[in-house]
Amino acid sequence: MENRGLLQVTTPSDREIALTRVFDAPRDLVFEAYTKPELLKRWLGVPHDGWSLEVCEVDLRVGGKCRFVSRGPDGNEMAMSGVYCEVVPGERIVTTELFDNPWYEGGAVKTVTFEEQAGKTTLTLSVLYDSKEIRDGVLKSGMDEGMAFAFDMLAELFASMPQELR
């Protein structure tokens, strides 16, 4: 599939991991695709090795709940719930993030912002963890122990390397 926008992963503070991506569409469209279950099911985690978004509940108001369950080919499930803390239609959504089988301690707060410029929308998805240690733990999950590190620096360095060295 064609890859149009560059996805950037950064660590804007020592408790956060953020994603930024530009979409060639006005922000009300992106917001709609991000908040309507029937639309979310068509893109979130899809296509992803036979995984699909089986449960997708969105009660888009402050205090309302959301729940997402992705199911894989072997019956594997990844389930996440949250409560909406802030909803500014077309602009900003803040939710808590809690996985059924969390791989990190404590809670996390996810902020998604939509900014439109010249018909294109920049989506920023930032997750704030309870502590730097937990954030670092998330960064190093899937790898060995003891690897907390400013990943954006590393990614930047990696990107600056000549193509033939990668």
SS3 65: strand
DSSP code of residue 42: T
Does position 165 interact with another protein (CB under 8 A)? The reply is: yes
Query: Closest distance between another protein and the C-beta of residue 145, in Å?
Result: 7
Query: Closest distance between another protein and the C-beta of residue 15, in Å?
Result: 17
Does position 158 interact with another protein (CB under 8 A)? The reply is: yes
- CB nearer to another protein: pick between 4 and 61: 4
CA dist list (Å): 138 to 14, 75, 98? 12, 24, 14
Tokens of 69: 């369950």
- Lay out the site mask for another protein across 20-59 (x = CB under 8 A, - = otherwise): -x-xxx--xxxxxx-----x--xxxxxxx-----------
Q: How buried is residue 72: exposed, middle or buried, by Cβ count under 10 Å (0-12/13-18/19+)?
A: middle
**What is the identity of the amino acid at 100?**
D
Query: Closest distance between another protein and the C-beta of residue 3, in Å?
Result: 6
Please spell the DSSP secondary structure of 85-126, one letter per residue.
EEEETTTEEEEEEEESS-SSSS-EEEEEEEEEETTEEEEEEE
Does position 7 interact with another protein (CB under 8 A)? The reply is: yes
Contacting residues toward another protein, per CB under 8 A: 1-5, 7, 9, 19, 21, 23-25, 28-33, 39, 42-48, 89-90, 125, 139-149, 151, 153-155, 157-158, 160-162, 165-166
